[in-house]
Structure 1
Amino acid sequence: MSGQVSAIWRHPIKSHGREALTEITLLPGQTMPGDRVWAVAHEAAKTDGSEWAPCTNFSRGAKAPKLMAISAESHGDRVTLRHPDRPDLSFAPDTQQDVFLEWVKPLMPADRAASARIVRVPGRGMTDSDFPSISLCNMASHRAVEQKLGQELSPIRWRGNIWFNGLPLWEEFDWLGRDVQIGRAVFHVRERITRCLATTANPDTGERDADTLGALNSWGHQDFGVYAEVIRGGEIRIDDKVQLL
């Protein structure tokens, strides 16, 4: 049984915008090129940006739902951010942090630690996992959550990298410890992804409007998608085959 790639997404600045792709070339042991290159450390962060750090150090959608409505376009070292409540911003995260911090301030809750600085770890996307991961998500599982809630949901809520169609719901959980080929790349599936409040926010509005966690808990877990490691690099395109090896 095989599925096919239905969408490819990356997130240039962790928790601050998503970008749709039609193809991507992956490298062994690395995160998706251009994915979570930067992260926004808040004023209570315990990281200096020299190495990977847990998500609790960063401004993110779980604490600031309005961030979930940001979309992004990346062009080398420049990123353009868009949000329904803010003017478009095109800037260089490495050298123009002040203009970004001013732009994002109205999107941050007053009772949360304020965004303080942008960090970048050379050669390492700031994924939530402590290893360079790419997230794989199943549209059948997404549709099951929609049915459970009785409402249509955008898959963007889950902030996944590679989406696939044509396989049974929760099939991805059976992949743990196994290898999966997608296009020309091969992945080793390592972990289920435990979800947080970020997924309750509507990516069009940034307002919390769906009990995604309650829906997941009805299956006895709070997981959606899996983290995988690239063990053989290669190109992946929309409609490519997804097959367990």
Structure 2
Amino acid sequence: MPKLSAIHRFPVKGFSPQVLDQIELTQGKGLPFDRHWAIENGPGQYDVTAPGHVSKKNFLMLAAQSDLAGWSTRFNAEHQVWTVIAPDGACLQVDLNDAETHAALFDHLSQALSDQVRGRLRLVQAGSQAMTDIPDPYPSIINLASVRDLAERTGQELDPVRFRGNLLIDDLEPWAELDMVGERLVIGEAEVEIRARIRRCVATSINPVTAARDADIPKALFDNFGHMDCGVYVSVERGGSVAAGDRVSGK
């Protein structure tokens, strides 16, 4: 029987995940605090007075700034405090809602990323729309069996964090999720509908531990399967609590 193996959310776009044991899903919304903040890389299109979906190119992101994988983070949801450990060992504590606490982080990022920084950095907050790659409030599911199958075919160990999914499921047939668009799943107390396959970009080629570009995942997907898809987006149709270890069943 398929089960929910892990829950990941990424409070600040482009940085490391927070691993959760349990979370409350809400109908029509993504995971609470997932990609709720992003760091604007120089003047961009994001309007803080009218938050909405804009291209990820406006922000620091793994696809362009692979060194971000070397920054470890912790997130306190109650106080919305983000602790960042830079590659040089500096420990920076940021109140995500207080711009006066952001300067030290921006200084470290500017020094570390150098000419990858296009101008002044600014931490911006999403409105009702998370800073994901799509304009819809959809969490993502990664099938761990698919990741293992791809790893076997490439002869390379692949950490599922590469795919930056929210709900990691196991004990499903490899790649079965790609043929389930339009179907519904019950996970714990929640019900989701599979909406679309996720086409993968170069960010998945970055090792989330070493920050090295050590695999060409889009090419590996295309060479082995004739597409570049791994994982699916889902909409939350019925809210409720989900926890690691919950059964995943069709409806």
Instruction: Please tell me the TM-score bracket, short chain as reference.
Output: over 0.9
Separation of aligned partners in 2, 1:46 and 1:212: 29
Residue 28 of structure 1 and its aligned partner are, at CA, apart by 0.7
Larger CA deviation: 122-131 vs 104-113: 104-113
Q: Which residue of 1 aligns with 2:28?
A: 29
Maintained 8 Å contact 2:187/2:242: yes
2:178 counterpart of 1:176: no
Kindly report the root-mean-square deviation, in angstroms, between the aligned alpha carbons of the 2 structures: 1.7
Structure 2: stretches of 5+ with no match in the other structure: none
2:94 counterpart of 1:91: yes
Separation of aligned partners in 1, 2:26 and 2:91: 32
2:136 counterpart of 1:136: no
Larger CA deviation: 42-51 vs 53-62: 42-51
Larger CA deviation: 75-84 vs 138-147: 75-84
Separation of aligned partners in 2, 1:29 and 1:71: 30
Separation of aligned partners in 2, 1:170 and 1:107: 38
Structure 1: stretches of 5+ with no match in the other structure: none
Maintained 8 Å contact 1:39/1:120: yes
One-letter amino acid of the structure 2 residue matched with residue 68 of structure 1: A
Q: Secondary structure at the match of 1:24?
A: strand
Which of 56, 76, 80 lines up with 1:77 in the alignment?
Answer: 80
Report the identity percentage.
Answer: 33
TM normalised by structure 1 equals 0.93
Deviation readout 1:93-137 (Å, 9 max, x if unpaired)? 221232221122244252553562111123332222111110100
One-letter amino acid of the structure 2 residue matched with residue 38 of structure 1: W
Residue 241 of structure 1 and its aligned partner are, at CA, apart by 0.8
Q: Secondary structure at the match of 2:90?
A: strand
Residues 1-245 of structure 1 mapped to structure 2, 5 A cutoff: 2-49=1-48, 50-75=51-76, 76-95=79-98, 96-108=101-113, 110-111=115-116, 113-114=118-119, 116-218=121-223, 219-245=225-251
Separation of aligned partners in 1, 2:199 and 2:114: 24
Separation of aligned partners in 2, 1:106 and 1:28: 41
Residue 242 of structure 1 and its aligned partner are, at CA, apart by 1.1
One-letter amino acid of the structure 2 residue matched with residue 100 of structure 1: L
Separation of aligned partners in 1, 2:120 and 2:64: 12
Maintained 8 Å contact 1:185/1:230: yes
Separation of aligned partners in 1, 2:65 and 2:245: 34
Runs of at least 4 residues of structure 1 off by over 4 A? none
Residue 54 of structure 1 and its aligned partner are, at CA, apart by 2.4
